[in-house]
Amino acid sequence: MSKDKHNHDHDHSHEHIHDHVGEHSHDHEGGHLHEHAHYHSPEMKKKQINRLSKAIGHLNHVKAMIENDEDCADVLMQLSAVNSALRGLGKEIINEHMSHCIVHALEDGDTSAVEEFQKAVQKFI
């Protein structure tokens, strides 16, 4: 199966876009390869990384609790907190992606980015 590569030039001259994070390639039905750039503000990126670091810290604590044979109810409570933190981060990422990346993709006529995002959200929820 051959793959066609589609590159979309994005005009990200909007003031709220500050930082180029990287380009992502996605395979689509029919063997097409779609590539688009994601842009995120340094402030939002830092906030998300901090939230993820806290969740990782909580998860490491859960691991230590299990290793130390701590009470199962306490372990489950900590796991619940980790799940809640990760779901909150996911919601934040969804909101940011919708308000920035999807808006720009639609401005550029890239409806496949919306379809990709819809699939990702369905997997998340």
| CATH number, position 67 | 1.20.58.1000
* 22 domain-assigned: no
* 90 domain-assigned: yes
Residue holding tokens 């390639």? Answer: 25
* 97 domain-assigned: yes
Q: Give the pTM.
A: 0.61
Adjacency order of strands within the sheet including 33-39 = 5-7, 33-39, 20-27
Show the domain range for 117. 40-124
* 15 domain-assigned: no
114, 105 contact by CB (below 8 A): yes
Q: What is the pLDDT of residue 39?
A: 67
Could you give the CA distance from residue 59 to residue 88 in angstroms, rounded to a whole number?
15
Q: What is the pLDDT of residue 99?
A: 81
* 83 domain-assigned: yes
* 2 domain-assigned: no
* 52 domain-assigned: yes
Ranges under pLDDT 50 in the chain: 1-34
11, 39 contact by CB (below 8 A): no
The number of domains in the chain is 1
Q: What is the pLDDT of residue 31?
A: 45
